[in-house]
C-alpha cells in the first residue's frame, strides 16, 4: 500500500522532471519567450530549428544584436524580446539581396529618395508629409536614414500612376 502514494508522487513529478532545462542564454525568460526567440531566429537569421545547438543559437542572437546595433552579449534579454515581438515584414535581416556577392545594396547609411510623380487624390504637400513620416518611422527601426532630394539621381524614386491592372 505504501507503493501507491510513492507511485502517485513519482507520476506527479515526472513531467517536470523530464523537461529539458532552458539553456543559459534563456535565464530570466519564460519558456514561451524562449520558443518565440527560436522561431524568430529561424525565420529571420537562418537558425536551423532542427539543430538544438546552444552555441548556434548564441551566434544567431549575436548576429541579431549586431544588426540592431545592440550590445553584443549573445544572451536573450527583455530588449531583444521586445524587438522580436514587434510587427515586421517577412524578409530575413541577413539575406543577400545584392547582384554582387558580399556587396550591400547601399554602401552608405543615408538613402536618398525623390518623389517623381504625385497622385491626383491628395495635395502634393500631403503626399510629401506622408512619405517623410513613413520613412522616418522606418529609420527608427533599421540602421538607415532617408533624405529627400529634388534633383539628380535618387536611391529610391517614388511614382504614383493609374492603369495597367484594372484599377481605373
The domain limits of the chain are: 23-94, 96-168
* pLDDT averaged per 10 residues, the chain (length 168): 43 40 52 86 81 80 88 90 83 62 68 94 95 93 90 91 61
**What residue numbers does the annotated binding site for Ca(2+) cover?**
121, 155
Q: What is the pLDDT of residue 100?
A: 55
- What is the domain class of 96-168 according to CATH? alpha beta
How many Å apart are CA 131 and CA 113, to the nearest integer? 10
How many Å apart are CA 102 and CA 125, to the nearest integer? 39
Q: What is the pLDDT of residue 15?
A: 43
Determine whether domain 23-94 maps to CATH 1.10.101.10. yes
21-32 core/surface letters (b: 16 or more CB in 10 A; e: else) = ebbebbeebeee
The gap from C-alpha 58 to its chain's centroid, in whole angstroms, comes to 16
pTM for the whole thing?
0.46
Q: What is the pLDDT of residue 121?
A: 92
Strand partners, 76: none
* Residue for grid cell 527601426: 141
Please check whether residue 92 is in contact with residue 43, taking contact to mean a CB–CB distance below 8 angstroms.
Answer: yes
- The Cβ-side half-sphere exposure at 107, using a 13 Å CA radius, reads 3
Q: What is the pLDDT of residue 146?
A: 94
**What residue numbers does the annotated binding site cover?**
89, 121, 155, 167
Please check whether residue 136 is in contact with residue 92, taking contact to mean a CB–CB distance below 8 angstroms.
Answer: no
**What residue numbers does the annotated binding site for Zn(2+) cover?**
89, 167
Q: What is the pLDDT of residue 28?
A: 54
Amino acid at each position: 500500500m505504501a507503493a501507491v502514494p510513492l507511485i502517485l508522487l513519482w507520476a506527479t513529478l515526472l513531467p517536470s522532471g523530464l523537461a529539458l532545462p532552458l539553456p543559459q542564454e534563456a535565464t530570466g525568460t519564460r519558456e514561451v519567450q524562449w520558443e518565440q526567440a527560436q522561431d524568430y531566429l529561424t525565420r529571420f537569421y537562418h537558425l536551423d530549428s532542427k539543430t538544438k545547438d546552444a552555441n548556434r543559437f548564441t551566434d544567431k542572437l549575436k548576429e541579431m544584436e549586431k544588426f540592431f546595433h545592440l550590445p553584443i552579449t549573445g544572451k536573450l534579454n527583455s530588449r531583444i524580446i521586445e524587438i522580436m515581438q514587434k510587427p515586421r515584414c517577412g524578409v530575413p535581416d541577413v539575406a543577400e539581396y545584392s547582384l554582387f556577392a558580399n556587396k550591400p545594396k547601399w554602401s552608405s547609411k543615408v538613402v536618398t529618395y525623390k518623389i517623381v510623380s504625385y497622385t491626383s487624390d491628395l495635395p502634393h504637400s500631403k503626399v510629401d508629409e506622408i512619405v517623410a513620416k513613413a520613412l522616418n518611422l522606418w529609420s527608427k527601426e533599421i540602421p538607415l536614414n532617408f533624405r529627400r532630394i529634388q534633383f539628380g539621381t535618387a536611391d529610391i524614386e517614388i511614382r504614383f500612376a493609374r492603369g495597367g491592372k484594372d484599377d481605373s
